[in-house]
Amino acid sequence: MHIPVPIRGVISVPFRAFGVRPSRMNPNTCTICELMFTKVMRARKITIDATIMFADLRGYTSLSQSQSSDAVSSLLDAFYDECANAIWAHEGILNKTIGDAVMAVFNFPLVRNEHAGNAVRAARDIQQNWRERREALVAAYGLNASELGIGIGIHSGELSFGEFGHTHRDLTAIGTVVNTASRAQSVAEADQILVTQEVFQRAQSDLKDSHSKAFQLKGFNAPIELYAA
């Protein structure tokens, strides 16, 4: 959708009457992007070139068993906030929150040639901002800073995006690109960002000093080269 739609202010009121409002996945976009599959495009999914990023809060499960509910909820709120702000600042959408992890999509609905680089920059912002944010959490709740790192995995390529499921409809992305990004995140250390060779090739200006290492990812027959960003 390339037609500007007002999503704030008085002129947005007529649009809101038709269900058009800021998207929860990125408040700088509108819900037309979420409604267009069945109501505009008459399709349930489309194939797009995009970048997927997974970020996971390390140590959350163990901390949730030893800390108060207030500390745990504040920790998760802070993690979601820092991820969302960085993702939105670099024109991605926060597509899913999955317990102590988030999944972001870059290059839809805002089409950007630099979507792989945007994902890398968003990941770096998440790491930098989280290091500052967790100091306040450690001071407030007596948490162990070494247990509060974030592991991030990023992959780019062709995937399916749309509505999946009938009883429960889920607007999301699926495919090997999504699975690879998730697996890359799973082997990233706390405070580390790992990107695939595809991301490295697309965002070389952001990854000049990156070095690769082969990882045996779960579900993959051959080792996958991942670059530390």
| One domain, residues 114 and 72 | yes
Domain span holding position 29: 1-42
Write down the pLDDT at residue 40: 43
Mean per-residue pLDDT over the chain, rounded: 83
| One domain, residues 8 and 93 | no
Phi and psi, residue 219, nearest 5°: 90, -5
Instruction: Give the three-state DSSP class for 155.
Output: strand
pLDDT tens for residues 171-199?
A: 789 999 999 999 999 999 999 999 999 99
| One domain, residues 27 and 61 | no
| One domain, residues 106 and 129 | yes
Question: What Cα–Cα distance (Å) separates residue 209 from each residue in 114, 131, 220, 227?
Answer: 19, 22, 27, 10
Write down the pLDDT at residue 120: 98
| One domain, residues 82 and 64 | yes
pLDDT at 32 over 60: no
pLDDT tens for residues 40-88?
A: 444 578 899 999 999 999 988 877 787 888 888 888 999 999 999 999 9
**CATH number of the domain bearing residue 153:** 3.30.70.1230
| One domain, residues 70 and 31 | no
User: CA dihedral defined by 88, 111, 55, 225, rounded to 10 degrees?
Assistant: -150
How many structural domains are present in the chain? 2
Write down the pLDDT at residue 64: 79
